[in-house]
Structure 1
């Protein structure tokens, strides 16, 4: 089955995206029922975007679907936009084995110590609540994150999506970096583009500038495969944040191996009968 369906029920929607305004509903219960029904009847990857959603309505939806419908959800209290993604696919989830195993690679290379490895508390799709700053009342479920032990918010968040979702991925990045109120240091966006049976990919790494605003620090190709090996680079202090081990140099650079991501992505595309560009 194709990962990206080409039929859409909404005029302003993309091939796998449905956009609905909550203004079409008079009651919270009716809106919640509509969201639950929409998510239940979908059988392949789809993104549902609901605009003009009051915070109380978004919270009601969260309470209803959190345990009964596998999905990755986010709510932006500033734009009042609720987003839910159902049925993530192999290519979108290939970032997880890549990143789960990265600390082991660092350890084997001597880049981090066993003490530092023990600090990692990685997660996938766990709800992060933003309780202060301009996005207070927002919540988000990243595709992956690194979080130091005993800290509420992660230091690094990662999102994976199709190029049609570029605007939404950027909004999510802004929510994480700005809404994290200084806790989230890096957001990585892995973006895939499909042309018939071939898929290209890029990865962008965002940090905060001196004014605390998001800025693109690095952009690298995944597919087509570049002539020379490439990596993403992060600082030790950005990875460990306040949990930085005393005596360790926060300015040290750690590398995320994009060759390994490429291998996992190739495998995922094969499961979907697709190939890299």
Structure 2
């Protein structure tokens, strides 16, 4: 769920073994995944926008992608549309609205989106078993989906966002760690999500993990990236790994620190630089289970 135009510079793109993966090819199977998109420039009310969205979903039901994008939406109409979705639609939907660009996006999550939550929970259980987390820290930290984040500072002030997964810590207004997952959502739009969260969070959101799935005739490919802010407040890609196809050489896990997990709520005396790892093999296990539910299989 993303803004199509962003007021900040493009994120850094260091070379990596996974950067060559194509965003799209000419397979018909990929064409069916392109997001549904509609302009609201000539639709004056939230009721009519909502009706248009419902009609589009019904028409595209056979090959419905998981992302719907409304462009050129007036700020007050976007606010009313958000309220309408809150009242009438499933809380499983994940919404995003940027009044600066007029883009309102609706993600309809699949098992491939949702397996990231299970992956985080499994990693947390291992941290507890290893003695990395105390009972107090465990109680402080909750992973959630579909909760609304309202950014209040900087160029992304007044943006609303529901990350695919976000880690909330008691006492903090914003999550510390967010996960954004793309299936029909393109890599540039995922990166837009990341910029908005990191820059709009102004350091309170310490890191964003991007997972991008690529559907191909032969199966599903996938990549994962860890982003954080550098010392100048710009997004920095810290890790970039392949999920599928599985690389032949060993890979490091995705790593965050205790400070990244707990942010400004870090308990006194707890080592801020302790490493917390997310196993890519564990992610592959959950992804395979999720793919089977969608009649998919990995490359």
- TM-score normalised according to structure 2 size: 0.82
Match of 1:165 among 161, 186, 198: 186
The structure-2 alpha-carbon separation of the partners of 1:34 and 1:273, relative to structure 1 and needing over 3 Å to count, comes to: closer
For the pair 1:193 / 2:250, whether they are aligned, the reply is: no
Q: Is the CA contact 2:34–2:184 (under 8 Å) kept in the aligned structure 1?
A: no
1:273 equivalent in alignment to 2:295: yes
Q: Is this contact kept in 2: 1:236–1:252, CA < 8 A?
A: yes
Within 5 Å, give how 1:30-109 maps onto structure 2.
30-39=48-57, 43=61, 44-70=64-90, 71-86=93-108, 88-109=109-130
Change (3 A) 1:182 1:27: same
The counterpart of 1:214, out of the listed 218, 235, 250, is 235
Mapping for residues 20-39 of structure 1, pairs under 5 Å: 20-39=38-57
Output the CA distance in 1 between the equivalents of 2:135 and 2:247: 33
Q: Could you tell me which runs of 5 or more consecutive residues in structure 2 were left unpaired when the two chains were aligned.
A: 1-27
Structure 1: 5+ residue stretches without partners: 1-5
Q: Give the alignment partner of residue 164 of structure 2, picking from 143, 154, 171.
A: 143
Residues 3-48 of structure 1: CA distance to partner in whole angstroms, max 9, x if unpaired? xxx699xxxx973312222213244543343235445766444311
Q: Within 1, Cα distance between the matches of 2:264 and 2:165?
A: 20
Match of 1:18 among 36, 52, 55: 36
Higher relative contact order (CA 8 A, sep 6+): 2
Q: Deviations over 1:194-220 (max 9, x none)?
A: 111411111011100111111111111
* CA displacement at 1:223 relative to structure 2: 0.9
CA distance in 2, matches of 1:102, 1:55: 40
Q: How many residues align?
A: 268
Q: Tell me if the contact between 1:36 and 1:65 (Cα under 8 Å) persists in the aligned partners.
A: no
Question: Residue 70 of structure 2 aligns to a residue in which SS?
Answer: strand
TM-score (norm 1): 0.89
1:240 aligned residue (240, 262, 281): 262
What is the CA-CA distance between 1:259 and the residue it aligns to?
1.2
Distance in 2 between the 1:140 and 1:42 partners? 25
Residues 51 and 114 from structure 1, CA distance in 2 versus in 1: closer, same or farther, beyond 3 angstroms?
same
Change (3 A) 1:216 1:55: same
**How far does residue 73 in structure 1 lie from its aligned partner after superposition?**
0.5
Q: Secondary structure at the match of 2:182?
A: strand
Paired with 1:242 and 1:201, the residues of 2 have a C-alpha distance of: 33
Q: What is aligned with 2:173?
A: 152
Deviation at 1:74, TM superposition (A): 0.3
Task: Say whether the 8 Å CA contact 1:156–1:184 is kept in structure 2.
Answer: yes
- CA contact 2:112–2:287 (8 Å) conserved in 1: yes
CA contact (8 A) 1:128 1:140 kept: yes
Across the aligned residues of Structure 1 and Structure 2, the Cα RMSD in angstroms comes to 2.3
Q: Distance in 2 between matches of 1:155 and 1:7?
A: 36
State how far apart, in whole Å, the 2-side matches of 1:131 and 1:39 are.
32
